[in-house]
Structure 1
Amino acid sequence: MDIATIVGLVVAIGLMLMAIIQGGPLGIFINIPSALIVGGGTIGVGLVHYPLSDIMGAAAIAKKTLFNKDESPHALIIQLMEFANKARKEGILSLQGMMDSVEDEFLVKAMQMAVDGQEPETLRSMLNTEVEYLQERHEKGQAIFVSLAGYAPAMGMVGTLIGLVQMLMNMSDPDSIGPAMAVALLTTLYGAVLANVFFAPIAGKLANRSASETLIKNLVIEGMQSILSGENPRIMEQKLHAFIAPKLRESTFK
Protein backbone atom coordinates (compact mmCIF):
# COMPACT_ATOMS: atom_id res chain seq x y z
CA MET A 1 0.00 0.00 0.00
CA ASP A 2 1.28 3.45 -0.94
CA ILE A 3 1.42 5.50 2.26
CA ALA A 4 2.27 8.71 0.39
CA THR A 5 -1.01 8.57 -1.57
CA ILE A 6 -3.07 8.00 1.57
CA VAL A 7 -1.30 10.73 3.53
CA GLY A 8 -1.64 13.16 0.62
CA LEU A 9 -5.40 12.58 0.30
CA VAL A 10 -5.94 12.82 4.05
CA VAL A 11 -4.00 16.09 4.27
CA ALA A 12 -5.67 17.68 1.22
CA ILE A 13 -9.22 16.66 2.13
CA GLY A 14 -8.68 17.27 5.84
CA LEU A 15 -7.47 20.83 5.34
CA MET A 16 -10.40 21.62 3.04
CA LEU A 17 -12.89 20.25 5.56
CA MET A 18 -11.21 22.21 8.35
CA ALA A 19 -11.54 25.44 6.39
CA ILE A 20 -15.19 24.70 5.60
CA ILE A 21 -16.13 23.85 9.18
CA GLN A 22 -14.43 26.95 10.56
CA GLY A 23 -16.43 29.16 8.20
CA GLY A 24 -19.84 27.60 8.71
CA PRO A 25 -21.80 24.34 8.63
CA LEU A 26 -20.65 21.58 6.29
CA GLY A 27 -24.17 21.17 4.95
CA ILE A 28 -24.08 24.38 2.93
CA PHE A 29 -21.37 22.84 0.73
CA ILE A 30 -23.52 19.85 -0.13
CA ASN A 31 -25.75 20.19 -3.18
CA ILE A 32 -27.03 17.11 -5.01
CA PRO A 33 -27.87 18.77 -8.38
CA SER A 34 -24.40 20.35 -8.53
CA ALA A 35 -22.76 17.02 -7.72
CA LEU A 36 -24.79 15.28 -10.42
CA ILE A 37 -23.88 17.88 -13.03
CA VAL A 38 -20.16 17.63 -12.29
CA GLY A 39 -19.83 13.94 -11.46
CA GLY A 40 -22.34 12.62 -13.97
CA GLY A 41 -21.33 15.13 -16.63
CA THR A 42 -17.64 14.27 -16.31
CA ILE A 43 -18.34 10.55 -16.65
CA GLY A 44 -20.70 11.18 -19.54
CA VAL A 45 -18.19 13.25 -21.47
CA GLY A 46 -15.55 10.65 -20.67
CA LEU A 47 -17.77 8.01 -22.29
CA VAL A 48 -17.96 10.15 -25.41
CA HIS A 49 -14.15 10.28 -25.50
CA TYR A 50 -13.37 6.67 -24.53
CA PRO A 51 -15.03 3.26 -24.94
CA LEU A 52 -17.16 2.01 -22.05
CA SER A 53 -14.63 -0.72 -21.24
CA ASP A 54 -11.87 1.86 -20.77
CA ILE A 55 -13.96 3.98 -18.40
CA MET A 56 -15.05 0.90 -16.45
CA GLY A 57 -11.42 -0.16 -16.20
CA ALA A 58 -10.32 3.25 -14.92
CA ALA A 59 -11.25 2.27 -11.35
CA ALA A 60 -9.01 -0.79 -11.53
CA ILE A 61 -6.22 1.35 -12.94
CA ALA A 62 -6.64 3.87 -10.12
CA LYS A 63 -6.06 1.10 -7.56
CA LYS A 64 -2.42 1.06 -8.62
CA THR A 65 -1.99 4.41 -6.88
CA LEU A 66 -2.79 2.68 -3.58
CA PHE A 67 -1.81 -0.95 -4.06
CA ASN A 68 1.44 -1.51 -5.88
CA LYS A 69 4.54 -3.50 -5.07
CA ASP A 70 7.60 -1.52 -6.10
CA GLU A 71 10.63 -3.61 -6.99
CA SER A 72 14.06 -2.46 -5.90
CA PRO A 73 16.44 -1.84 -8.83
CA HIS A 74 19.39 -2.51 -6.54
CA ALA A 75 17.96 -5.87 -5.41
CA LEU A 76 17.29 -6.80 -9.03
CA ILE A 77 20.88 -5.97 -10.03
CA ILE A 78 22.19 -8.21 -7.23
CA GLN A 79 19.90 -11.01 -8.43
CA LEU A 80 21.03 -10.60 -12.03
CA MET A 81 24.65 -10.66 -10.94
CA GLU A 82 24.01 -13.98 -9.16
CA PHE A 83 22.55 -15.37 -12.37
CA ALA A 84 25.53 -14.05 -14.36
CA ASN A 85 28.06 -15.71 -12.06
CA LYS A 86 26.17 -19.00 -12.08
CA ALA A 87 25.79 -18.98 -15.87
CA ARG A 88 29.50 -18.16 -16.28
CA LYS A 89 30.54 -21.09 -14.07
CA GLU A 90 27.92 -23.73 -14.94
CA GLY A 91 26.53 -22.63 -18.29
CA ILE A 92 23.34 -20.83 -19.33
CA LEU A 93 21.22 -23.99 -18.82
CA SER A 94 21.93 -23.77 -15.08
CA LEU A 95 19.42 -20.88 -14.90
CA GLN A 96 16.60 -23.37 -15.54
CA GLY A 97 16.73 -24.54 -11.94
CA MET A 98 16.56 -20.99 -10.56
CA MET A 99 13.32 -19.95 -12.23
CA ASP A 100 11.10 -21.33 -9.46
CA SER A 101 12.58 -18.82 -7.00
CA VAL A 102 11.86 -15.82 -9.27
CA GLU A 103 8.56 -13.95 -8.77
CA ASP A 104 8.86 -11.43 -11.62
CA GLU A 105 7.09 -12.97 -14.63
CA PHE A 106 9.01 -10.76 -17.05
CA LEU A 107 12.33 -11.95 -15.63
CA VAL A 108 11.18 -15.57 -15.80
CA LYS A 109 10.25 -15.08 -19.44
CA ALA A 110 13.66 -13.56 -20.18
CA MET A 111 15.42 -16.44 -18.41
CA GLN A 112 13.38 -18.99 -20.33
CA MET A 113 14.27 -17.34 -23.63
CA ALA A 114 17.94 -17.43 -22.67
CA VAL A 115 17.76 -21.09 -21.68
CA ASP A 116 15.95 -21.90 -24.92
CA GLY A 117 18.92 -20.59 -26.86
CA GLN A 118 17.67 -17.27 -28.20
CA GLU A 119 20.28 -14.99 -29.69
CA PRO A 120 21.09 -11.92 -27.51
CA GLU A 121 19.79 -9.42 -30.06
CA THR A 122 16.63 -11.46 -30.65
CA LEU A 123 15.99 -11.59 -26.91
CA ARG A 124 16.42 -7.81 -26.64
CA SER A 125 14.16 -7.16 -29.63
CA MET A 126 11.33 -9.38 -28.40
CA LEU A 127 11.42 -8.07 -24.85
CA ASN A 128 11.68 -4.45 -26.02
CA THR A 129 8.52 -4.97 -28.06
CA GLU A 130 6.71 -6.18 -24.94
CA VAL A 131 7.90 -3.14 -22.98
CA GLU A 132 6.74 -0.79 -25.75
CA TYR A 133 3.22 -2.20 -25.67
CA LEU A 134 3.24 -2.10 -21.88
CA GLN A 135 4.07 1.61 -22.03
CA GLU A 136 1.23 2.16 -24.52
CA ARG A 137 -1.24 0.55 -22.13
CA HIS A 138 0.07 2.63 -19.25
CA GLU A 139 -0.14 5.83 -21.28
CA LYS A 140 -3.73 5.04 -22.19
CA GLY A 141 -4.64 4.68 -18.52
CA GLN A 142 -2.89 7.95 -17.67
CA ALA A 143 -4.62 9.72 -20.57
CA ILE A 144 -8.05 8.78 -19.21
CA PHE A 145 -7.40 10.58 -15.94
CA VAL A 146 -5.72 13.52 -17.64
CA SER A 147 -8.86 13.92 -19.77
CA LEU A 148 -11.16 13.62 -16.75
CA ALA A 149 -9.06 16.25 -14.97
CA GLY A 150 -9.85 18.60 -17.85
CA TYR A 151 -13.53 17.71 -18.14
CA ALA A 152 -14.39 18.08 -14.43
CA PRO A 153 -13.69 21.85 -14.18
CA ALA A 154 -15.40 22.37 -17.54
CA MET A 155 -18.54 20.63 -16.29
CA GLY A 156 -18.27 22.70 -13.12
CA MET A 157 -18.31 25.85 -15.23
CA VAL A 158 -21.31 24.54 -17.18
CA GLY A 159 -23.14 23.98 -13.90
CA THR A 160 -22.21 27.47 -12.75
CA LEU A 161 -23.58 29.00 -15.95
CA ILE A 162 -26.80 27.04 -15.55
CA GLY A 163 -27.13 28.33 -12.00
CA LEU A 164 -26.43 31.91 -13.07
CA VAL A 165 -29.09 31.77 -15.77
CA GLN A 166 -31.61 30.50 -13.26
CA MET A 167 -30.57 33.22 -10.83
CA LEU A 168 -30.97 35.97 -13.39
CA MET A 169 -34.43 34.70 -14.21
CA ASN A 170 -35.42 35.39 -10.61
CA MET A 171 -33.85 38.82 -10.11
CA SER A 172 -37.20 40.12 -8.97
CA ASP A 173 -36.77 38.14 -5.76
CA PRO A 174 -33.68 39.54 -3.97
CA ASP A 175 -33.82 36.89 -1.25
CA SER A 176 -33.17 34.11 -3.79
CA ILE A 177 -30.08 35.68 -5.38
CA GLY A 178 -27.59 34.81 -2.62
CA PRO A 179 -28.50 31.12 -2.26
CA ALA A 180 -28.74 30.68 -6.01
CA MET A 181 -25.26 32.19 -6.50
CA ALA A 182 -23.86 29.91 -3.80
CA VAL A 183 -25.32 26.83 -5.49
CA ALA A 184 -23.95 27.98 -8.86
CA LEU A 185 -20.45 28.36 -7.44
CA LEU A 186 -20.56 24.93 -5.80
CA THR A 187 -20.39 23.26 -9.20
CA THR A 188 -17.13 25.09 -9.93
CA LEU A 189 -15.81 23.97 -6.53
CA TYR A 190 -16.76 20.35 -7.15
CA GLY A 191 -15.10 20.39 -10.56
CA ALA A 192 -11.89 21.92 -9.20
CA VAL A 193 -11.70 19.39 -6.35
CA LEU A 194 -12.28 16.39 -8.61
CA ALA A 195 -9.67 17.58 -11.09
CA ASN A 196 -6.93 18.73 -8.73
CA VAL A 197 -7.34 16.42 -5.74
CA PHE A 198 -8.19 13.19 -7.55
CA PHE A 199 -7.89 12.94 -11.34
CA ALA A 200 -4.68 14.91 -12.02
CA PRO A 201 -2.74 13.40 -9.06
CA ILE A 202 -3.85 9.90 -10.07
CA ALA A 203 -2.54 10.50 -13.59
CA GLY A 204 0.76 11.72 -12.17
CA LYS A 205 1.11 8.75 -9.83
CA LEU A 206 0.37 6.33 -12.67
CA ALA A 207 3.10 8.00 -14.74
CA ASN A 208 5.57 7.48 -11.90
CA ARG A 209 4.52 3.85 -11.53
CA SER A 210 4.98 3.31 -15.26
CA ALA A 211 8.47 4.83 -15.19
CA SER A 212 9.50 2.58 -12.28
CA GLU A 213 8.14 -0.56 -13.94
CA THR A 214 9.81 0.31 -17.24
CA LEU A 215 13.15 0.81 -15.45
CA ILE A 216 12.89 -2.66 -13.89
CA LYS A 217 12.11 -4.27 -17.23
CA ASN A 218 14.96 -2.46 -18.96
CA LEU A 219 17.33 -3.73 -16.28
CA VAL A 220 16.10 -7.26 -16.93
CA ILE A 221 16.62 -6.87 -20.69
CA GLU A 222 20.12 -5.44 -20.32
CA GLY A 223 21.13 -8.00 -17.72
CA MET A 224 19.82 -11.06 -19.54
CA GLN A 225 21.37 -9.96 -22.82
CA SER A 226 24.73 -9.56 -21.08
CA ILE A 227 24.38 -13.00 -19.47
CA LEU A 228 23.43 -14.60 -22.76
CA SER A 229 26.37 -12.90 -24.48
CA GLY A 230 28.77 -14.27 -21.85
CA GLU A 231 29.84 -10.78 -20.85
CA ASN A 232 32.27 -10.24 -18.00
CA PRO A 233 30.17 -9.78 -14.80
CA ARG A 234 32.10 -6.64 -13.81
CA ILE A 235 31.29 -4.99 -17.14
CA MET A 236 27.68 -6.15 -16.85
CA GLU A 237 27.40 -4.61 -13.39
CA GLN A 238 28.75 -1.29 -14.65
CA LYS A 239 26.14 -1.30 -17.42
CA LEU A 240 23.32 -2.01 -14.98
CA HIS A 241 24.52 0.66 -12.54
CA ALA A 242 24.15 3.23 -15.31
CA PHE A 243 20.35 2.84 -14.95
CA ILE A 244 20.23 3.95 -11.32
CA ALA A 245 21.32 6.96 -9.27
CA PRO A 246 24.99 7.00 -8.12
CA LYS A 247 24.03 6.86 -4.44
CA LEU A 248 22.24 3.55 -5.05
CA ARG A 249 25.19 1.89 -6.78
CA GLU A 250 26.83 -0.78 -4.67
CA SER A 251 29.22 -3.23 -6.26
CA THR A 252 28.85 -6.94 -5.57
CA PHE A 253 32.61 -7.29 -6.05
CA LYS A 254 34.54 -6.63 -2.86
Structure 2
Amino acid sequence: MDFNSIIGIAIALIAIFGGQALEGGHLGSLIQFTPLLIVLGGTLGAVLLQSPVRQFVLGMKMSRWVFVPPLLDAGTLVEHIAIWSTTVRKEGLLSLDTHVEGIDDPFVKKGLQLVLDGTDPLVLKRVLEVEIDTFEDFHRQGARVWEAAGGYAPTIGILGAVIGLIQVMENLSDPAHLGNGIAVAFVATIYGVGLANLAFLPIANKLKTLIGRQVLMREMLVDGLVGIAKGENPRLITGRLNGYMA
Protein backbone atom coordinates (compact mmCIF):
# COMPACT_ATOMS: atom_id res chain seq x y z
CA MET A 1 0.00 0.00 0.00
CA ASP A 2 1.35 3.42 -0.98
CA PHE A 3 0.43 5.66 1.95
CA ASN A 4 1.91 8.72 0.20
CA SER A 5 -1.04 8.69 -2.19
CA ILE A 6 -3.57 8.44 0.64
CA ILE A 7 -1.85 11.22 2.59
CA GLY A 8 -1.64 13.42 -0.51
CA ILE A 9 -5.35 13.06 -1.26
CA ALA A 10 -6.24 13.73 2.38
CA ILE A 11 -4.11 16.89 2.53
CA ALA A 12 -5.61 18.21 -0.71
CA LEU A 13 -9.20 17.64 0.44
CA ILE A 14 -8.57 19.08 3.89
CA ALA A 15 -6.93 22.16 2.38
CA ILE A 16 -9.79 22.80 -0.05
CA PHE A 17 -12.73 22.11 2.25
CA GLY A 18 -10.92 23.60 5.24
CA GLY A 19 -10.21 26.78 3.31
CA GLN A 20 -13.85 26.96 2.29
CA ALA A 21 -14.93 26.62 5.91
CA LEU A 22 -12.43 29.21 7.14
CA GLU A 23 -13.80 31.68 4.61
CA GLY A 24 -17.23 31.17 6.10
CA GLY A 25 -18.61 29.22 3.17
CA HIS A 26 -20.82 26.14 3.36
CA LEU A 27 -19.12 22.84 2.52
CA GLY A 28 -22.27 21.70 0.78
CA SER A 29 -21.87 24.42 -1.81
CA LEU A 30 -18.82 22.58 -3.21
CA ILE A 31 -20.68 19.29 -3.48
CA GLN A 32 -23.12 19.47 -6.38
CA PHE A 33 -24.18 16.64 -8.65
CA THR A 34 -24.90 18.62 -11.82
CA PRO A 35 -21.45 20.19 -12.35
CA LEU A 36 -19.79 16.91 -11.35
CA LEU A 37 -21.85 15.10 -13.97
CA ILE A 38 -20.90 17.65 -16.62
CA VAL A 39 -17.17 17.46 -15.86
CA LEU A 40 -16.83 13.70 -15.34
CA GLY A 41 -19.19 12.79 -18.17
CA GLY A 42 -17.65 15.23 -20.63
CA THR A 43 -14.10 14.20 -19.73
CA LEU A 44 -14.95 10.50 -19.97
CA GLY A 45 -16.54 11.01 -23.38
CA ALA A 46 -13.54 12.94 -24.68
CA VAL A 47 -11.07 10.33 -23.40
CA LEU A 48 -13.11 7.48 -24.88
CA LEU A 49 -13.23 9.30 -28.21
CA GLN A 50 -9.46 9.70 -28.19
CA SER A 51 -8.39 6.30 -26.84
CA PRO A 52 -8.82 2.80 -28.28
CA VAL A 53 -10.76 0.50 -25.97
CA ARG A 54 -7.68 -1.55 -25.11
CA GLN A 55 -5.73 1.54 -24.12
CA PHE A 56 -8.59 2.91 -22.03
CA VAL A 57 -9.10 -0.38 -20.16
CA LEU A 58 -5.36 -0.61 -19.53
CA GLY A 59 -5.34 2.90 -18.07
CA MET A 60 -8.21 2.03 -15.73
CA LYS A 61 -6.49 -1.16 -14.57
CA MET A 62 -3.19 0.64 -14.00
CA SER A 63 -4.89 3.21 -11.76
CA ARG A 64 -4.69 0.75 -8.86
CA TRP A 65 -0.89 1.21 -8.97
CA VAL A 66 -1.43 4.61 -7.35
CA PHE A 67 -2.35 2.84 -4.10
CA VAL A 68 -0.88 -0.64 -4.65
CA PRO A 69 2.22 -0.20 -6.83
CA PRO A 70 4.01 -3.19 -8.40
CA LEU A 71 6.50 -4.84 -6.07
CA LEU A 72 9.95 -3.65 -7.14
CA ASP A 73 12.86 -4.95 -5.07
CA ALA A 74 16.14 -4.12 -6.77
CA GLY A 75 18.17 -5.58 -3.91
CA THR A 76 16.52 -8.98 -4.26
CA LEU A 77 17.05 -8.89 -8.04
CA VAL A 78 20.77 -8.24 -7.57
CA GLU A 79 20.96 -11.13 -5.11
CA HIS A 80 19.30 -13.49 -7.60
CA ILE A 81 21.61 -12.42 -10.39
CA ALA A 82 24.61 -12.90 -8.08
CA ILE A 83 23.42 -16.45 -7.32
CA TRP A 84 22.90 -17.22 -11.01
CA SER A 85 26.30 -15.86 -12.02
CA THR A 86 28.08 -17.75 -9.22
CA THR A 87 26.28 -20.96 -10.15
CA VAL A 88 27.24 -20.61 -13.82
CA ARG A 89 30.81 -19.77 -12.86
CA LYS A 90 31.11 -22.96 -10.82
CA GLU A 91 28.89 -25.44 -12.67
CA GLY A 92 28.40 -24.09 -16.19
CA LEU A 93 25.40 -22.72 -18.11
CA LEU A 94 23.36 -25.92 -17.86
CA SER A 95 23.14 -25.41 -14.09
CA LEU A 96 20.65 -22.58 -14.75
CA ASP A 97 18.04 -25.13 -15.79
CA THR A 98 16.96 -25.71 -12.19
CA HIS A 99 16.58 -21.94 -11.63
CA VAL A 100 14.45 -21.40 -14.76
CA GLU A 101 11.79 -23.86 -13.60
CA GLY A 102 10.95 -21.92 -10.45
CA ILE A 103 10.48 -18.49 -12.07
CA ASP A 104 7.02 -17.06 -12.74
CA ASP A 105 7.96 -13.75 -14.40
CA PRO A 106 7.88 -14.38 -18.19
CA PHE A 107 10.55 -11.73 -18.91
CA VAL A 108 13.00 -13.12 -16.35
CA LYS A 109 12.29 -16.66 -17.46
CA LYS A 110 12.88 -15.81 -21.11
CA GLY A 111 16.15 -14.05 -20.31
CA LEU A 112 17.48 -16.97 -18.28
CA GLN A 113 16.39 -19.40 -20.98
CA LEU A 114 18.33 -17.42 -23.58
CA VAL A 115 21.43 -17.55 -21.39
CA LEU A 116 20.87 -21.26 -20.82
CA ASP A 117 20.65 -21.83 -24.59
CA GLY A 118 24.06 -20.20 -25.05
CA THR A 119 22.72 -17.18 -26.97
CA ASP A 120 25.34 -14.66 -28.05
CA PRO A 121 25.43 -11.78 -25.50
CA LEU A 122 24.76 -9.11 -28.16
CA VAL A 123 21.81 -11.05 -29.56
CA LEU A 124 20.54 -11.64 -26.02
CA LYS A 125 20.70 -7.93 -25.29
CA ARG A 126 18.92 -6.94 -28.50
CA VAL A 127 16.10 -9.47 -27.98
CA LEU A 128 15.42 -8.38 -24.41
CA GLU A 129 15.71 -4.66 -25.20
CA VAL A 130 12.99 -5.03 -27.83
CA GLU A 131 10.74 -6.51 -25.14
CA ILE A 132 11.60 -3.67 -22.76
CA ASP A 133 10.75 -1.04 -25.38
CA THR A 134 7.46 -2.80 -26.13
CA PHE A 135 6.63 -3.07 -22.42
CA GLU A 136 7.35 0.63 -21.84
CA ASP A 137 5.39 1.84 -24.85
CA PHE A 138 2.40 -0.37 -24.01
CA HIS A 139 2.12 0.81 -20.41
CA ARG A 140 2.74 4.46 -21.24
CA GLN A 141 -0.36 4.27 -23.42
CA GLY A 142 -2.31 3.54 -20.24
CA ALA A 143 -0.72 6.49 -18.45
CA ARG A 144 -1.63 8.74 -21.37
CA VAL A 145 -5.32 8.04 -20.72
CA TRP A 146 -5.05 9.88 -17.40
CA GLU A 147 -2.87 12.55 -18.94
CA ALA A 148 -5.55 13.17 -21.57
CA ALA A 149 -8.22 13.37 -18.87
CA GLY A 150 -6.12 16.01 -17.11
CA GLY A 151 -6.02 18.02 -20.31
CA TYR A 152 -9.73 17.83 -21.07
CA ALA A 153 -11.19 18.30 -17.57
CA PRO A 154 -10.46 22.05 -17.17
CA THR A 155 -11.96 22.80 -20.57
CA ILE A 156 -15.06 20.73 -19.77
CA GLY A 157 -15.25 22.67 -16.50
CA ILE A 158 -15.32 25.93 -18.43
CA LEU A 159 -18.03 24.42 -20.64
CA GLY A 160 -20.03 23.66 -17.49
CA ALA A 161 -19.51 27.26 -16.35
CA VAL A 162 -20.88 28.55 -19.65
CA ILE A 163 -23.91 26.27 -19.31
CA GLY A 164 -24.53 27.68 -15.84
CA LEU A 165 -24.23 31.24 -17.09
CA ILE A 166 -26.69 30.50 -19.90
CA GLN A 167 -29.15 29.37 -17.24
CA VAL A 168 -28.51 32.59 -15.34
CA MET A 169 -29.15 34.72 -18.40
CA GLU A 170 -32.37 32.85 -19.16
CA ASN A 171 -33.68 33.54 -15.67
CA LEU A 172 -32.68 37.14 -15.10
CA SER A 173 -36.30 37.98 -14.46
CA ASP A 174 -36.55 35.27 -11.78
CA PRO A 175 -34.02 35.92 -8.99
CA ALA A 176 -34.91 32.61 -7.32
CA HIS A 177 -33.11 30.70 -10.09
CA LEU A 178 -30.06 32.92 -10.38
CA GLY A 179 -28.17 31.48 -7.42
CA ASN A 180 -28.35 27.89 -8.65
CA GLY A 181 -27.10 28.81 -12.11
CA ILE A 182 -24.19 30.85 -10.78
CA ALA A 183 -23.28 28.03 -8.38
CA VAL A 184 -23.21 25.48 -11.19
CA ALA A 185 -21.04 27.83 -13.23
CA PHE A 186 -18.35 28.30 -10.60
CA VAL A 187 -18.44 24.81 -9.11
CA ALA A 188 -18.09 23.23 -12.57
CA THR A 189 -14.89 25.22 -13.08
CA ILE A 190 -13.62 24.13 -9.66
CA TYR A 191 -14.34 20.48 -10.48
CA GLY A 192 -12.64 20.69 -13.86
CA VAL A 193 -9.46 22.37 -12.62
CA GLY A 194 -9.45 20.46 -9.33
CA LEU A 195 -9.84 16.99 -10.81
CA ALA A 196 -7.20 17.71 -13.45
CA ASN A 197 -4.57 19.00 -11.05
CA LEU A 198 -5.39 16.99 -7.93
CA ALA A 199 -6.25 13.64 -9.51
CA PHE A 200 -5.83 13.03 -13.25
CA LEU A 201 -2.41 14.61 -13.88
CA PRO A 202 -0.86 13.36 -10.60
CA ILE A 203 -2.09 9.84 -11.41
CA ALA A 204 -0.60 10.05 -14.91
CA ASN A 205 2.75 11.26 -13.59
CA LYS A 206 2.86 8.62 -10.85
CA LEU A 207 2.13 5.88 -13.37
CA LYS A 208 4.96 7.17 -15.57
CA THR A 209 7.31 7.07 -12.60
CA LEU A 210 6.33 3.50 -11.76
CA ILE A 211 6.72 2.46 -15.40
CA GLY A 212 10.19 4.01 -15.42
CA ARG A 213 11.16 2.04 -12.32
CA GLN A 214 9.97 -1.22 -13.88
CA VAL A 215 11.94 -0.44 -17.02
CA LEU A 216 15.03 0.23 -14.91
CA MET A 217 14.61 -3.11 -13.16
CA ARG A 218 14.42 -4.87 -16.49
CA GLU A 219 17.50 -3.03 -17.73
CA MET A 220 19.31 -4.19 -14.60
CA LEU A 221 18.27 -7.76 -15.35
CA VAL A 222 19.47 -7.53 -18.94
CA ASP A 223 22.80 -6.08 -17.82
CA GLY A 224 23.25 -8.92 -15.35
CA LEU A 225 22.25 -11.65 -17.82
CA VAL A 226 24.58 -10.27 -20.47
CA GLY A 227 27.38 -10.32 -17.91
CA ILE A 228 26.58 -13.95 -17.10
CA ALA A 229 26.52 -14.84 -20.79
CA LYS A 230 29.93 -13.22 -21.22
CA GLY A 231 31.32 -15.19 -18.29
CA GLU A 232 32.13 -12.09 -16.23
CA ASN A 233 33.18 -12.33 -12.61
CA PRO A 234 30.12 -12.40 -10.27
CA ARG A 235 31.62 -9.63 -8.14
CA LEU A 236 32.02 -7.40 -11.18
CA ILE A 237 28.42 -8.01 -12.21
CA THR A 238 27.10 -7.33 -8.70
CA GLY A 239 29.18 -4.16 -8.36
CA ARG A 240 27.89 -2.83 -11.68
CA LEU A 241 24.26 -3.59 -10.79
CA ASN A 242 24.57 -1.87 -7.42
CA GLY A 243 25.30 1.30 -9.39
CA TYR A 244 21.72 1.25 -10.70
CA MET A 245 20.35 1.45 -7.17
CA ALA A 246 22.52 4.44 -6.31
TM-score w.r.t. length of structure 1: 0.89
How many Å separate the matches in 1 of 2:189 and 2:124?
52
CA offsets 1:28-69 (integer angstroms, 9 cap, x no match)? 223222111111000111121112343233321211222223
Which deviates the most, 165-174 or 179-188? 165-174
2:233 is aligned with 1:232: yes
Residue aligned with 1:242, SS? helix
Kindly tell me the number of residue pairs found equivalent between the two proteins.
Answer: 245
Contact 2:59 2:143 in 1 (8 A): no
Q: Note the 1:16-55 alignment, pairs <5 A.
A: 16-22=16-22, 23-55=24-56
Give percent identity, aligned residues only: 32
One-letter code aligned to 2:217: I
2:59 is aligned with 1:58: yes
How many Å separate the matches in 2 of 1:200 and 1:4?
16
One-letter code aligned to 1:11: I
How many Å separate the matches in 2 of 1:138 and 1:106?
15
Q: CA deviation at 1:198?
A: 1.2
One-letter code aligned to 1:99: V
Q: CA deviation at 1:99?
A: 2.7
2:66 is aligned with 1:78: no
2:99 is aligned with 1:98: yes
One-letter code aligned to 2:79: I
CA spacing shift, 1:86–1:53, aligned 2, 3 Å: closer
Residue aligned with 1:209, SS? helix
Q: Note the 1:89-168 alignment, pairs <5 A.
A: 89-168=90-169
CA offsets 1:76-102 (integer angstroms, 9 cap, x no match)? 112211111110010011111123444
Note the aligned Cα RMSD (angstroms).
1.9
Corresponding position of 2:172: 171
Q: CA deviation at 1:174?
A: 4.2
One-letter code aligned to 2:2: D
CA spacing shift, 1:233–1:57, aligned 2, 3 Å: closer
How many Å separate the matches in 1 of 2:10 and 2:36?
21
Contact 2:136 2:215 in 1 (8 A): yes
How many Å separate the matches in 2 of 1:102 and 1:56?
28
One-letter code aligned to 1:116: D
CA offsets 1:136-157 (integer angstroms, 9 cap, x no match)? 0121111111110010111000
Corresponding position of 2:219: 218
TM-score w.r.t. length of structure 2: 0.91
